[in-house]
Chain A
Amino acid sequence: MPRYFTEDHEWVEIDGDTATVGITDYAQGQLGDIVFVELPEEGAEIEKGKDAAVVESVKAASDVYSPITGTVIEANGALEDDPSLVNSSPEEDGWFFKLTVADEGELDGLMDEEAYGKFVANL
């Protein structure tokens, strides 16, 4: 399944009409120990580039922006019990939320894995 990345270090994986969103391994490393994740409610309409979730590390709160526009189908309940999943498995078990894909065209401006790898290497 194709996976895309933003310059703000979110990833989005597309499976038909559904997208799964999380933050990258680079992002969790920068944030440090994550103690709380505030996720959007099911049914919430979110827009590309707008705040969709908040990650709280010991040190600070950081916004997570949605890579695409859509309606939230599911939030990852596992993060409520164990927010450190974002540190231990950011790009698998530590996903944030799933949403509908409103406009596939929005994916065009995002990076693929290789491009994101180069982007991070230059930071």
Chain B
Amino acid sequence: MSNNAIEVDHVSMMFNINSEGVDNAKEYVVKAAKKQLHFSRFWALKDVSFSVKKGDRMGIMGFNGAGKSTLLKTIAGVLKPTIGSVKTEGKIAPLIELSAGFDSNYSGRENIFLYAATMGFSRKFIEEKFDEIIEFSELGKFIDAPLKSYSSGMKSRLGFAIATSVKPEVLILDEVLSVGDAAFREKSEKRIEGMMGNGVTVLYVSHSTASVEKICNKAIILTQGQLVANGEADEVCELYRQMIKQK
């Protein structure tokens, strides 16, 4: 573990297509009567093993439905794998859909505390980062207005500012960032590059081999839940390009 930030050990993830998503008794009874509840298994991940060293930037590629999101969720600790285990070291900050932790009746200031608390930080820690977050989010005097009065750009700027100010050890980037206007986007890209320079471990999900080659030094490919390639970013990207052609 010492050198690895993430260890994914023989992880398999099974879903039951029929019983999941059933959230009321009527549907449950109907499906039980039709004996549809315990059949049709679906393995979203099949025996996936790899590890990410500290400071590595790992690109995760694969076609739609290959299991990328499922893999990220098991690493983030949101999903528990059916078989196998995931070990991680340090704080993981997911940068996917930044607005998830917010409450619309709360002011921007209160939301900063709430959001950071959800990510498991102490009050003291957040207070230290507070001015930095407000400054970076460019919200100024609006910070005390309730969140429901914010535009979507303001919300995502605030979310981005919090997630990156807390200096996580592992940063999960799902798809390319499209936060705010052009100027803010440039500012946020710079910020992420700066974090990478500081030895943060990055998991980067993308379909674009160009951006994976630019950002990552390692990469993996998933196909129908299986790990088909794991190695240096440029070699894996080459392979991925061939796969796209064959498809």
The answer to whether A binds B is no
